[in-house]
Structure 1
Amino acid sequence: MWISVTLQADAARAEALSDALIEAGALSVGIEDADAGTAAEKPQFGEPGHHPTRLWDHSRVVALFDGETDLTLALAQAASTAGFAAVPPFTVEEVAEQNWVQLTQSQFEPIRISERMWIVPSWHDAPDPSAINIALDPGMAFGTGSHPTTRLCLQWLCEAVRAGDQVLDYGCGSGILGIAAAKLGAAEVLGIDIDDKALQAAQDNAQRNRVSLRLQHSRLPLEQRFDIVVANILTNPLCVLAPLLAARLKPGGWLALSGVLDTQAEQVIAAYAPFIALEVGDTQEGWVRLEGCLKERGRT
């Protein structure tokens, strides 16, 4: 048996506490956004126009200990090493012995995106071999098709992409949206991300799916215009990126944005209003997809 301990920490001391927990005997430690899934959720990495954010303002530090560990001693030692006057508020949960590989795989079944598209982990057979099947396993980069924001974008791409389109996936993460666009007939797909690990994951996933993606870091200049621009990020960076993303559209090009809570939709629509009119295209589980066109463009 193992013991999972979740401690509260501010951004300034979360990393120090994480290191101290390892020194005190933790088998593994992770830092999470305590505001994830709320309007206060923040990206871990900076975006153009903002200084990079090292960690979240309100963090959760999750440590895994052997069940025989003296938690009182270990937590006191870690808190002292990290500069805390006392052990921060924490919760404890027992973690039973399990087949972790089997458990992880069981949590990721094939995901039906539309009548013509599925996301299929490598340990599963495709439910519909005649459909567009994207081979994708959970990894370090965001985007497996399980989150509503990813599904919203994939469903939109199934309707929007036409043969020969040039597509920009800004904040590409795992590359899932770009891979889908390529499989749907796009002639050229460019994926951009601020994280080198995400770019490598996108490259690996593209090779696995036998499609070609161009990939580049967000620090590099971007002058090309596209038929379709899609970005599944978060509200604040999407607002900052409004001039850049709108400027990358060809006349008649389509823009789709997700990573936006329904309570934040008007904020994003207002940020893009000087450049392109957006409207809510669909909603799932409290998240919305915003979409708009520079001028009328038929869809197939």
Structure 2
Amino acid sequence: MVTRASRRSPACAWRCPKWSSRASRPTFRCIRSCCWTIRSCAAARRSITSSSGWTSANRPRDSRYAQRLSLQPPTRACCNVLEALSFDAAADAAQRWADALLDAGALSVDVADSHAGTPAETPLYAEPGGSGTPFWPVSRLTALFNTAVDAEAALASAAAGLDESVPVHRRATISDIDWVRKSQAQFEPIRVTEQMWIVPSWREPVDTRAINIVLDPGLAFGTGSHPTTLLCLRWLAANVERGASVLDYGCGSGILAIAAAKLSAGAVTGVDVDPLAIAASRANAEANGVAAEFCSPDALPVYAVDIVVANILANPLELLAPLLAGRVRAEGRIVLSGILEPQADRVAAAYARWFNIAPWGSADGWTALAGVRYTG
């Protein structure tokens, strides 16, 4: 699985609070990021309907040309399509190109592995606590433009600002289609276990006798399709006892807390540092008709629970070990997910002081750890 770094211009920042200011542009989202608007490059990749061949623009780059390109890119009449330009850049140039394209009028810039889908593909995972933002040796940049902007001129303007030649690139036209319908068509009911399904609100349950978690894709992570979420759900389905108290730390969409409540847990609480996630979790819990509390870490009362589940990432899980251990009662249980298989040993070591912990299950290169709190 390969991470992608999508970057948005200030013009569309209002559509996603994750991109709230120009200052946030250096921020790169991990695999848990979501793009839900027509302005996302993810949508562009899925909706290319026609494209020309690769083109090369070897124009003279004298001072007059550079001065002309420093002006705003020329515009033309807007129509209901978008235009994408894609090209490859070295790792040390990818961020500079992304910034220059946004300054030249791009709605968003996506940075991906140029070799994705080939044996040369390189998985990269940026996560909290890591060192800097990783880039692929050869990165594929895709800039998305409104057709009111001359994309070719914008690319030339970006190149001039970087004192670079216009790169060999590819153009693609994106149709004006019903993006809501197209997005919804991608989400089918997900079978978690024999008796548990995740069902989008616009779909009918496959099995009305099963536990059906109604959940739509949104800004918060946790639609149930990712292996890390599925591992946690399967552990909960196999281990939650009636009346058990459950804490979902890093709740995202609230899916794990909702599942615990539907499995007849007692007091269920979800915690997240993102206010959007808390709001999404509350809305999802209401849609599912379950009672669960959601709050920020600062607002969480001091108490220990029967089960703590944390589906985050390896580095934060290591840092949170003392805090999460303190939230589990003696002989209570903890479940940790969001861990790549090579990271499992070091995460387990961070919790070994408090728990008898070991791998519980794996899927697609991800591992879930489960442990029991020592009594001492």
Question: Which TM-score applies when normalising by structure 1?
Answer: 0.81
Partner of 1:71: 151
Distance 2:332 2:153 in 1: 60
Q: Secondary structure at the match of 1:124?
A: coil
Query: Structure 1 residue 234: deviation in Å?
Result: 0.4
Q: Secondary structure at the match of 1:277?
A: strand
Question: Do structure 1's residue 94 and structure 2's residue 172 form an aligned pair?
Answer: yes
Distance 1:267 1:255 in 2: 16
Partner of 2:82: 2
Distance 2:308 2:198 in 1: 21
Partner of 2:104: 24
Distance 1:217 1:9 in 2: 40
Question: Do structure 1's residue 173 and structure 2's residue 213 form an aligned pair?
Answer: no
**2:372 equivalent among 273, 293, 297:** 293
Write the letter of the residue equivalent to 2:125: E
Partner of 2:359: 280
Q: Secondary structure at the match of 2:246?
A: strand
Partner of 1:184: 263
CA contact (8 A) 1:33 1:56 kept: no
CA contact (8 A) 1:112 1:118 kept: yes
Specify whether residues 238 and 9 from structure 1 end up closer, same or farther in structure 2 by C-alpha distance, changes over 3 A only.
farther
Partner of 2:337: 258
CA contact (8 A) 1:141 1:201 kept: yes
Distance 2:196 2:181 in 1: 25
Count of residues in Structure 1 that have an aligned counterpart in Structure 2: 285
Query: Structure 1 residue 120: deviation in Å?
Result: 0.2
Distance 1:96 1:58 in 2: 27
For residues 222-249 of structure 1, give each alpha carbon's deviation from its aligned partner in whole angstroms, at most 9, with x where no partner exists. Answer: 5210100000000000010111111110
Specify whether residues 248 and 70 from structure 1 end up closer, same or farther in structure 2 by C-alpha distance, changes over 3 A only.
same
Distance 2:353 2:166 in 1: 46
For residues 99-146 of structure 1, give each alpha carbon's deviation from its aligned partner in whole angstroms, at most 9, with x where no partner exists. Answer: 322221121100000111100001100000111111101111000000
Write the letter of the residue equivalent to 2:196: M
Correspondence 1:149-228 to 2 at 5 A: 149-220=228-299, 222-228=301-307
CA contact (8 A) 1:10 1:56 kept: no
Root-mean-square deviation (CA, aligned residues, Å) is 3.5
CA contact (8 A) 1:178 1:213 kept: yes
For residues 139-182 of structure 1, give each alpha carbon's deviation from its aligned partner in whole angstroms, at most 9, with x where no partner exists. Answer: 11000000000000000000111111110000100000000001
CA contact (8 A) 1:3 1:92 kept: no
Partner of 2:126: 42
Instruction: Choose between structure 1 and 2: higher strand proportion.
Output: 1
Distance 2:166 2:235 in 1: 44
Q: Secondary structure at the match of 1:133?
A: strand
Query: Structure 1 residue 3: deviation in Å?
Result: 3.2
Specify whether residues 6 and 288 from structure 1 end up closer, same or farther in structure 2 by C-alpha distance, changes over 3 A only.
farther
Specify whether residues 146 and 38 from structure 1 end up closer, same or farther in structure 2 by C-alpha distance, changes over 3 A only.
farther
Question: Which TM-score applies when normalising by structure 2?
Answer: 0.66
Query: Structure 1 residue 65: deviation in Å?
Result: 2.0
Query: Structure 1 residue 274: deviation in Å?
Result: 1.4
User: Which structure: larger Rg?
Assistant: 2
Which moved further from structure 2: 113-122 or 218-227? 218-227
Distance 1:128 1:278 in 2: 35
Partner of 1:114: 193
Distance 2:109 2:257 in 1: 29
Distance 1:80 1:93 in 2: 19
Specify whether residues 111 and 279 from structure 1 end up closer, same or farther in structure 2 by C-alpha distance, changes over 3 A only.
same
Write the letter of the residue equivalent to 1:94: A
Specify whether residues 202 and 87 from structure 1 end up closer, same or farther in structure 2 by C-alpha distance, changes over 3 A only.
farther
Q: Secondary structure at the match of 1:151?
A: helix
Partner of 1:137: 216
CA contact (8 A) 2:196 2:212 kept: yes
CA contact (8 A) 2:328 2:334 kept: yes
